[in-house]
Chains A and B, each alone.
Chain A
Amino acid sequence: MKGMSSRLTLAMTGIIILVIILFIADLLIGSTHIDASEVIRSLFGHGTPGGEIIVTQFRLPKALTAIIAGAAMSVSGLLMQTLFRNPLAGPDVLGVSSGAGLGVALTLLTLSPLFTLSAGSALQGWGLILAAWAGAGAVMMIIMAVSVRMRDIMTVLIVGLLLASAISAVVSLLQYFSNESMLRTYVIWTMGNLGNISYPQIRALAMATAAGLVIAFLMVKPLNAMLMGETFSRTVGVKMSSTRIILLVAASILAGSVTAFCGPLAFIGVAVPHIGRLVFGTTDHRTLMPGVALCGSVVLLLSDIISALPGGGHIIPVNTVTSLIGIPVVLWIILGKTGMGRRF
């Protein structure tokens, strides 16, 4: 037991150091070349004007967003996987991301044409974020209403998936009837982005994520019990219906907020919990949850660094990088090499 805990300490320390290293690397490596010394001077307000703007307005917000969004999406995915006892569950199975997408689509494609032509751009920033939040929240309410009535958690999963499909059909319909510039703005939103987020927005994202994480951490005991099955959980005094609702709320706050600020980030939520289980070799949520949060930050920071690697001012969209990391992980799980599937 003692050996186990020292291994965990080592893994946890290692991953914290990795987050710090990658955070610094993300500041140093960008799509343009800036000397390391210039980056450091810029951080303390002594850089050249051009360099300072690039470091403080482009790279720093992006790196901070990567840390926050990576942690939030991964923990949200962990909650979903434990709740649904399904290794392939993720924040998107609840339809929360689709709900956020619907909010954005309704705003961009339906509301803004009613105002002026430029409303599309004016609505970006907070307008879209609030719309995405509202959409994610609305879907969360529906899922909760279903969850209260349905005893079988699998029914909730199916309703979530159906809801996601129905929402994407509505979004398609909105797209069909909308003009090209609005459509373009929407498509760009769906590609996900870490960069174009202001400090006030990062603060809001951080607060929402903190709220979601606190709720999630308060639920580690019931989560551990749930790994043994619902019957076991009930016998040890876990109130299943209220636990479910609290977990759904936490997962939705986390995933909904990230989707609202960064667009739908692919695969992080599904893949990272498995990376966390591999790294920490445990399913105990007391360790796993902070571990998964840190792994999420690592993966998204790394994706952001990779996205800037082509150099010469070019970048790869961060969503393609997360997918390229995420898909092999998910394949690994499906093919059963890790035996992870058996833990559910």
Chain B
Amino acid sequence: MNNRLVILAVTILLCSCRHGGSSTSASGTDASSSAARFELQEKHGYTILTVRDPWQNSRGTELVWYLLPHDMVIPDGIAEEQVIRVPVRRMICMSTTHLAMMRALDATDLLVGISGPDLVFDSLILDAVSRGQIVDIGYEGNLNNELIVTLKPDILMAYGVASPSSGNTGKLSAMGVKVLYNADYLEEHPLARYEWIRLFGVLTGREAMADSLFREVSAAYRELAENVRKNVQERPDVLLGAPWEDVWYVSPVNSYTGRLIEDAGGHYLYSDLTEAHSVPFSVEAVFERATVADIWLNPGTSESLSDIAATDHRMVRLPVYTQGGVWNNRKRMTQKGGNDYWESAVVRPDLLLKDIVSIIHPELLPEHRQYYYIRLQ
């Protein structure tokens, strides 16, 4: 078993489930929709950034950074290793969600390195990669450390599957690279995940732009969710995810997609599952529940009904399958596998919600054509 396999095994547990640990709240878009994993605190001329529990199962971890203007003398009591000079000039981003936020802030020219360009959708970033302005630094677990050091980034924005000591980002810190953990993917609510754009705003010197974007998009999301809440009498049952051989990893209701379904006026079939992470169920058990599903969202990598049948022949017996209620988030894909759902949808939760509302309650948005979703044929 190589490291990547182990990391992958962990990722399997996480990938269908974007969740958080501490925030617990009923469905709704208010209290639970604020980012729980980071905090920005204004001080005299600088900002203190606190990132909380930036990886799975971490409890009580707090990483503190001091974001200082370039010309500011480091105040007493602050260690140089904890200082990031802002606005940053050279940045490496490990996740496509980070890239989406950089793009939304029109700050992609600050990027010098990314992880795995094959999974990137944005053509502007891909162009920069092909011109050599942005280079591929490898995958987590197989990072090209020497390349990263020679790129001289002001920060490397990483995401943590496990603690830094388990990956080689620990080594990078020792080599003087400032590794900033971004925990956006652990946020439970789409708006909480999007709120991380405010951090990108501070880092890139585009604070006002980030705040205004965040306010605008959040308002649109809340307005739509409220509209749905008022106008929906019946909540169709929604199935989520796909079986992998004998196992179906089920996302809890307090996950990114679970929240979207509830906000879009659906009833998530596992609305009683409120674990901190996705839970493996037998396909038999999920099948039994899924027989009442009206809509089936995100069935793995399937792009057609026959793909689903090939993955698990038993699924063709589900009424939702035979009635054509299966939708996947694979409308905007690159040849190599980059999916805009994991990219721009993070900065357009309002548009994503619109898509899901139009799938679950087409009568509410008759004009809307799905942006991220396709109906499987």
A176 to B140, CA, bound (A): 12
Residues of B contacting A312 in the complex (Cβ-Cβ under 8 angstroms): 285
Smallest Cβ distance from B161 to chain A, in angstroms? 12
The tally of residues in B whose CB lies under 8 Å from a CB in A reads 46
Beyond A118-B304, A181-B301, whether A31 also contacts B2 by CB under 8 A is no
Residues of B contacting A194 in the complex (Cβ-Cβ under 8 angstroms): 246
Smallest Cβ distance from A303 to chain B, in angstroms? 12
Is B377 an interface position by the 8 A CB rule?
no
Binds A, one of B42-50, B196-204, B312-320: B312-320
| Interface hits, B281-307 → A, CB 8 Å | 281-288, 291, 300-304, 306-307
Residues of A contacting B288 in the complex (Cβ-Cβ under 8 angstroms): 32, 50, 54
Binds B, one of A68-76, A149-157, A185-193: A185-193
A50 to B317, CA, bound (A): 10
Binds A, one of B6-14, B68-76, B176-184, B363-371: B6-14
| Interface hits, A144-192 → B, CB 8 Å | 172, 175-176, 179-181, 183-185, 187-189, 191
Is A25 an interface position by the 8 A CB rule?
no
Residue interface bits B94-127, CB-to-A below 8 A is 1, else 0:
0000000000000000000000001100000000
Q: Is the beta-carbon distance between A121 and B314 smaller than 8 angstroms?
A: no
Q: Which of the residues B12, B280, B337 comes within 8 Å of A187, measured between beta carbons?
A: B12
Q: Is the beta-carbon distance between B280 and A195 smaller than 8 angstroms?
A: no
Is A124 an interface position by the 8 A CB rule?
yes
Residues of B contacting A117 in the complex (Cβ-Cβ under 8 angstroms): 301, 303, 330, 333, 335, 337
| Interface hits, B241-291 → A, CB 8 Å | 243-247, 279-288, 291
A232 to B302, CA, bound (A): 59
Is B356 an interface position by the 8 A CB rule?
no
Q: Which of the residues B2, B281, B302, B337 comes within 8 Å of A314, measured between beta carbons?
A: B281
With both beta carbons as reference points, the residue of chain A lying nearest to B313 in the complex is identified as: A198
Q: Is the beta-carbon distance between A176 and B245 smaller than 8 angstroms?
A: no
Residues of B contacting A327 in the complex (Cβ-Cβ under 8 angstroms): none
Is B5 an interface position by the 8 A CB rule?
yes
Residues of A contacting B246 in the complex (Cβ-Cβ under 8 angstroms): 193-196, 315, 317-318
Q: Is the beta-carbon distance between A124 and B282 smaller than 8 angstroms?
A: no
Q: Is the beta-carbon distance between B287 and A58 smaller than 8 angstroms?
A: yes
A69 to B294, CA, bound (A): 37
With both beta carbons as reference points, the residue of chain B lying nearest to A123 in the complex is identified as: B310
Q: Which of the residues B281, B291, B300, B307 comes within 8 Å of A313, measured between beta carbons?
A: B281
